[in-house]
Structure 1
Amino acid sequence: MSNLFKTLSLCLLLLSPQVVGETIEKPIERIQVISAKSNASIMQLADYQQIGSQSLELLQAQHLNQVLSRTAGTWLSRGNGQESLLAMRSPVYTGAGACGEFLTLEDGIPLRASGFCNVNQLFDSAFELASKIEVVNGANSARYGSNAIHGMINVVTPRPFEQANQVKLGLGANKLTKLQLKHNQESNIGDFLLAGDWVDTNGYQDNSGYQQYKLLAKHSGQLGDWQLDTSLSVQDLDQITAGYIQAGDKAYLDEELRRQNRLDNAYRKAQSQRLTVHAQTQLADGSLVKLSPYLRNNKMDFLMHYLPGTPIENNQHTSLGLLGHWQVNRGNHFIDFSSQLENTQGEVKQYQPWPTETSSAFLNSILPQGRQYDFAVDMQTLSFAADWSWIWSDDFYWQNAIRFEQINYQYTNYLDDGNNQQNGQPCGMAPCRYYRPTSRDDSFADVSFSLMPVWQLNAQTSAYIKFDKAYRAPHIMELYRLQNAAQQTIDAETAYNTQLGIEYLTDKLKLTAVVFNMHKHNVIAQNSQRLYVNDERTQHSGLEGNLAYQLSNNWQYSLQAIWARHKYKKQFAGNDIDTAPRLIASQQLAYTWADRVKLEFESVYMSDYYTDAENQHSYAGHLLHNIRASFAVADNWHLAVQWLNITDKAYAERADFAFGNDRYFVGQPSRVFAQVSYQY
């Protein structure tokens, strides 16, 4: 696959203007997932939230959860190192296919193929180098495709000369060192940007830490009537992983236990590369054509320390795709016709280099040493969509979208079918844990839609009602890594969402509120017997809001909050889904003086939640406080300091209950991070 990536990279580079050498003009508006909707009113994209460059500059986040906590309805649960689990108007989902509930993008291109996504995939994004991060909550498959059931996150990186040339050096707790560079360059073949971010840290827990670097190379130029923006994004993570602590109820309160790492060999190594050309031109009739060919490669190896026997997983996939838009503006009508073509080749291997040595003779018997999975999957995605805005009058319009999408899988098993050992012999006390289905083809097709009437009630107030049907196709792990099941029928998951929203906007105040109710069918989950099933039904309903108020010329207050219930409707009917806090909120009080000083006090709150489906065990929740400051200390020199968890609160980033034990990913204590930057 590496040779394929190199060959296709050369093909895409040949499309870029630096090879052709045409006369360069100033670039036109950037192409991204949101830009197609920019001509209509502010309410056109319901649930749209943005963390802009000023906030990102102040945050200097070491983990993306520090950024996403500023958006209502989003909780990125921080694991160890750069690992994470996502919730967007939802509980935190776990398991190999849990990533299928959300769509994550960089500059409008999915970070991974939908059937090959990973719950930790946001560490592939160049969020440290971003100019803004866009978040759209709720069901949005009609606009963005499979996986956008609960929401979409788009990391937008800067174009050349959008941000200043700068060098940054940061130091923090646990021997954290961070170096960042952004350099813009003009030439007779266009504008260039080269950016990089490198971090090294020992980690808070014993024998843990990671090194990670990210590189971003961009070019903007003109080729005839076409504006071309070429981007290469590279990521490499080398992590020594610390697992959860498992030492009884509220073990995270014990300072000594919080530091412990019961793992001595857990790791995660991940590499990703994405090459994209965004091209657009205006036709004679005024319509816009946008084409985005892209090439994507992902590889990851890690120890599955959370499973008995601790096997090792290797997975990789390479994708070649094309996104196309034809946008027609006819005054009171705006139509965006779009299509996506993608072909992906991937493989998964799972092997256990050592025998299982637990206190259970049964587990030791059914988890033998050797290869457990070795399969390849070819995947094709084809979609057609239309997004239509109709301005009926000055105070009313419709926003509608419809999408047809088909996903095909060709699965090839390289080991013996069934659940014998690698040598073909059965396990001693029972069939071996891991079942391998026979090679086969699968296909999933569905239609999603969105209907949204919008009213401009007065000069300050807008309101809307939004109806959505969303879906996702099964993940390859849900189809072909069946654990201890001989066969399971897995179908596409569907969701029906209704929401009411209102926005109030003045010179000093912005207030948005959304009431939502979602019913999901054919929910794909892994039950207590480790079988994938999709006959579950769930309900997700609540109230979400954002408030931003300019108290004076120097003071600003912001609040983001969601209150929601996430309930089982079939098995455990009426119970809260585990890891689903009902209230999540954050607030910021900021002071700015003459663009030279910015101070901010932040609070982040999470209510209690159940950690098991039976609702017999729970986590108490927490309240954290942070202080951040930024100073212009001299011409071109800036100093940023952040003091996180200033009250030294003992808490868990995430808690669950499994295999009869409370388990906690521990939160870090009070700590300071400082960074100096120079612009040139």
Structure 2
Amino acid sequence: MRPRNTVWMLAACLTGLAPAALAQDEVVITASRIAEPQALGATPVAVLDADELARIGAHHVAETLNRAPGVFINRGNGAEHLTAIRSPVLTGGAGAGSFLYLEDGIPLRAPGFANVNGLFEAVDDLAARVEVVRGPGGAAYGSNALHGLINFISRDPETPEALAELEYGSFGRARARAFAQGPLDTGAGFIGLSARHEDGWRDDAGLDRVALQARLDGSLGATNWSLRGAAVDLNQETATYIRGFRAFEDKAVARSNPDPEAFRDATALRAALHLDRRLNDLWRVQGAVYGRSNDMTFRLHFLPSEALERTGHDSIGAQSAVVREWGEGNRLMLGADAEWSHGYLTENQTLPGFGDFPQGLHYDYEVDALVGAVFAQGRYFLTDALSLEAGARVENTRYDYATNIPAGQEGRFLRPEDRTDEFTTFAPSAGLTWRVSPGVQLFTRAARGVRAPQTAELYRLQPGQQIAGISPEELDSLEGGARLDLWGRGQAEITAFAMRKQNVFFRDADGFNVTDGETRHAGIELDGAFDVTNRLSLAVSGTWADHEYAFDRAVQSSSETIRDGAQVDTAPEWLWNARLVWRPVDKAVIETEWVHVGKYFADAANTAAYDGHDLLNLRASYELGSGWQVFGGLRNLTDERYAERADFAFGSYRYFPGEPRSVFAGVRVRS
């Protein structure tokens, strides 16, 4: 049975089970750039609120985001990660450019200079909430909102509050955060600081990460303004892959670090001024101007050269829109966005030359990037129960590239001559939302996601490649689902999707770049919460997905031939996350979490596989009174030996081993 048919059958079966009205008080921002009730939109958005973020107390952002359906973040060492949202776990340029990471609606990085580990630049431990959009981002968001986007939303400073928190745990792990917010003479302000340290459970795998975030809100006449800024500094020693079939089961091997010289150092600075002005009862204007600076140095430990890479970019940009709102939910938004960035990249091999890997500079170039877009999106209620939404975005990306070392081929590296490249993309979307009854709502949406090539994909070439053969990736998506109220004690959302992606860019088993791949994706997602009793609640997210290659490609030096219909590697069929939250007394909260990752193939030829794993986590907190709270827990309660990521490359299995059982405890005070 095809997934897109299954969702309608599920919705029909459950229609009669939901007598109560759908909750309308959950407000989301990300889908349309405007705060609105979640039930109005045809775009599925998963929300993690402040209470849940505090209860998780994440040591790594994957602990938070993997609670959302359709999301599978592979945790690397320290703050490193690889992302999947309605997709396989993607690496390289695809892993960087297929997902859009935002802070208050503004990208953490410029679209052509995305980072496969971009989530470490988010201030996740100070966020008020996190919203995850699965599938194409729609008209409001441009390049990189291909498979989905994640928006970290800062705290609203209007409500007075102060917090200080300290935590200590296994493997020399320490975490601290503090913030204060409330009214000021100039409006309302927020300032927060977070810091994380760990010695690392693996050899030579320490981490230090500090983040500062501030916000000041006010008004000038009819204009509301909000000045927001953040800074992140990361220093980590990187524990790399271990090799050998099921090597993660050997504790000594799992703790080892085959490349103790690997590291990653990064800084990110950003500031934005958000503006909103009501012109009259129907019209308002809104927008933001912003700047950012990102720099990173790290060892390419996953390549034979182990070269040292330095990369970064500086940007200035603006978002703007005029909005007309009328009736009960009707809206029209017309907008324009623009951004300029200057970026650089160097790759220097310090090891003696061998084979096709010469010693010295492989690449040294700079790129000026200019991105401009216009878009329109809106919603209109055809009847009291049926609404239509539609939008489209046209975006132009221009790269001016210049190499600082001689162009030409050296070993397996091809450096282009100075050049200019330009890409124009078109991303339409349309959806319907139908309130069948007070407790049942159906929705459907068709959308296209696009991404212009990353600068590293264009100018970090290999012999035989031509820039003329690289086109923007396009993903066409069709989804449908149902939102249900469960007898007034909870809600559930069921979504089915089918997608096809073209011009897929990735690196094959021979180490060469593919620019014309094609893949198919289909799945069903469940996101629900239910109050079993007044003191016991259950929350579940689950995903069944099928990710297939839709083309053939033979390789020369490996048996990893890609066949049409084969499963894309690192794409679990099943993902589950379930949490049982118990409040035995008013002052205590106990959460038990089950995490299931299903079996997946570790290579494109589907000859190597990882069997998956199940983890149990336990968290608890107790209110002492006067704002004091103690908390603690156990991660990987059963001490499961597992792999965060399994891969088959260069003729052998390789793994990022999963962390063994760990304990943590802390104290928190609020006022």
TM-score class, shorter-chain normalisation, is over 0.9
The corresponding residue for 1:566 is: 547
1:171/1:673 contact within 8 Å kept: yes
How many residue pairs were aligned?
633
The 5 A counterparts of 1:91-490 are: 91-162=88-159, 164-184=161-181, 186-246=183-243, 248-331=244-327, 333-356=330-353, 364-420=354-410, 432-488=411-467, 489-490=469-470
Paired amino acid for 1:479: L
The answer to which of 551-560 and 501-510 deviates more is 501-510
CA deviation after TM superposition for structure 1 residue 331, in Å? 1.5
Contact residue 611 and residue 656 of structure 1 kept, 8 A: yes
For 1:286 and 1:672, how far apart are their aligned partners in 2? 54
CA RMSD of aligned residues (A): 1.7
Whichever residue aligns with residue 413 of structure 1, its letter is T
Where does structure 1 lack aligned partners over 5 or more consecutive residues? 1-29, 357-363, 421-431
Q: Residue type of the partner of 1:137?
A: R
Give the equivalent residue in structure 2 for 1:496.
Answer: 476
Asked whether the equivalents of residues 601 and 625 of structure 1 are also in contact (C-alpha less than 8 Å), the reply is: yes
Tell me if structure 1 keeps the 8 A contact 2:225–2:276: yes
Structure 1 letter corresponding to 2:346: K
Secondary structure class of the residue paired with 1:96:
helix
SS at match of 1:165: strand
TM-score (ref. length: structure 2) = 0.92
C-alpha distance after superposition, 1:341-360 (max 9, x if no partner)? 1000000011112314xxxx
Provide the rounded CA distance (Å) in 1 between the counterparts of 2:600 and 2:577: 17
The structure, 1 or 2, with the larger RCO (C-alpha pairs under 8 Å, 6+ apart) is 2
Report deviation, 1:41. Answer: 6.4
- Give distance in 2, aligned partners of 1:39 and 1:679: 30
- For residues 175-220 of structure 1, give each alpha carbon's deviation from its aligned partner in whole angstroms, at most 9, with x where no partner exists: 1111111022543222221100011111110111110100001111
Question: Which region of structure 1 is more displaced relative to structure 2, 157-166 or 397-406?
Answer: 157-166
Contact 2:46 / 2:131 at 8 angstroms: preserved in 1?
Answer: yes
Q: 1:593 to 1:387 in 2, by over 3 A?
A: farther
2:4 corresponds in structure 1 to none
Match of 1:12 in 2: none
Give the Cα–Cα distance (whole angstroms) in 2 for the partners of residues 293 and 485 of structure 1: 41
Please state how far the C-alpha of 1:486 moved relative to its aligned partner. Answer: 4.5
CA contact (8 A) 1:409 1:443 kept: yes
Partner AA of 2:428 in structure 1: F
Distance 1:163 1:592 in 2: 27
User: CA contact under 8 A between 2:161 and 2:182: conserved in structure 1?
Assistant: no
Q: Is the contact between residue 290 and residue 324 of structure 1 (CA under 8 Å) also seen in structure 2?
A: yes
Aligned residue for 1:666?
Answer: 657
Deviation larger for 281-290 or 251-260: 281-290
1:32 positional shift = 5.4
| Aligned-pair CA distance for 1:330 | 2.4
Give the 3-state SS of the residue equivalent to 2:132 in structure 1. Answer: strand
String of CA shifts for 1:29-49, please: whole Å, max 9, x gaps: x99545744446614142111
Q: Aligned AA for 1:662?
A: Y
Within 2, Cα distance between the matches of 1:438 and 1:574? 38
Contact 2:347–2:362 (8 Å) recurs in 1: yes
- State the shift of 1:595 in Å: 4.6
Matches within 5 A, 1:502-581: 502-506=482-486, 507-571=488-552, 572-581=563-572
Q: Quick one: structure 1 residues 280 and 594, their matched pair in 2 at CA, closer, same or farther if it must change by over 3 Å? A: farther
2:7 aligns with none
Secondary structure of the equivalent of 1:482?
coil
TM-score of the two chains, using structure 1 as the length reference: 0.91
| Pairwise CA distance, 1:78 | 0.2
- Say whether 1:633 aligns with 2:613: no
Question: Does the residue aligned with 1:463 lie in a helix, a strand or coil?
Answer: strand
Query: Does the 8 Å contact 1:36/1:327 carry over to 2?
Result: no
* Cα deviations by residue, 1:404-442 (Å, 9 ceiling, x for unpaired): 11111111111111123xxxxxxxxxxx12110111101
Write the deviation string for residues 268-313 of structure 1: whole angstroms up to 9, x where unpaired: 0000011011111100343121120000110000000111121000
Counterpart residue identity of residue 501, structure 1:
G
Q: Deviations over 1:79-133 (max 9, x none)?
A: 0100000000100001134221111101111010111000101010000101100
Change over 3 Å in CA distance of 1:594–1:341 after alignment to 2? farther
Q: State the distance in 2 between where 1:543 and 1:402 align.
A: 26
CA contact (8 A) 1:43 1:462 kept: no
Distance 1:68 1:115 in 2: 24
Deviations 1:440-490 (A, max 9, x none): 101110111111111111110010221112211111111000134452410
CA distance in 2, matches of 1:593, 1:153: 34
Moved more, 190-199 or 620-629: 190-199
Secondary structure in 2 aligned to 1:66? helix
In structure 1, how many angstroms separate the alpha carbons of the residues matched to 2:626 and 2:525?
A: 42
Pair 162,610 (structure 1): closer, same or farther in 2 beyond 3 Å = farther
- 2:275, 2:286 within 8 Å by CA — same for their partners in 1? yes
1:45 and 1:346 map into 2 onto residues whose CA distance is 37
| Deviation sequence 1:124-154 (CA, Å, 0-9, x none) | 0000101100001012243311111111100
Cα distance in 2 between the residues matched to 1:484 and 1:236:
36
Q: Is the 8 A contact 1:140 1:450 kept in 2?
A: no
How far has the Cα of 1:70 moved from its partner? 1.1
CA contact (8 A) 1:97 1:118 kept: no
Cα distance between partner residues in 1 of 2:512 and 2:389: 40
Q: Specify the SS of the correspondent of 1:75.
A: coil
Residues 490 and 529, structure 2, Cα contact 8 Å, conserved in 1? yes
Partner of 1:435, secondary structure, is strand
**1:546–1:561 contact (8 Å) kept in structure 2:** yes
Q: Do the aligned partners of 2:576 and 2:597 also contact (CA within 8 Å) in 1?
A: yes
Please give the secondary structure, in 1, of the residue aligned with 2:589.
Answer: strand
Kept in 1: contact 2:475–2:502 (CA 8 A): yes
- Following TM superposition, by how much is the alpha carbon of 1:366 offset from its aligned partner in structure 2, in angstroms? 2.1
Deviation at 1:54, TM superposition (A): 0.5
- Residue number in structure 2 paired with 1:62: 59
CA–CA separation in structure 2 for the residues paired with 1:606 and 1:187: 47
**Which residue in the other structure is 1:592 paired with?**
583
State whether structure 2 residue 592 is matched by structure 1 residue 601. yes
Code of the residue aligned with 1:646 in structure 2: it is L
Check whether the contact 1:176–1:202 (CA below 8 A) recurs between aligned residues: yes
Q: How far apart are residue 499 of structure 1 and its match?
A: 1.0
Secondary structure at the counterpart of residue 394 of structure 1: coil
Taking the aligned partners of 2:408 and 2:138, their CA distance within structure 1 comes to: 35
| 2:20 corresponds to | none
Preserved contact between residue 160 and residue 183 of structure 2 (Cα < 8 Å): no
Show the counterpart of 1:361. Answer: none
Distance 1:487 1:48 in 2: 39
- State the one-letter code of the partner of 2:364: D
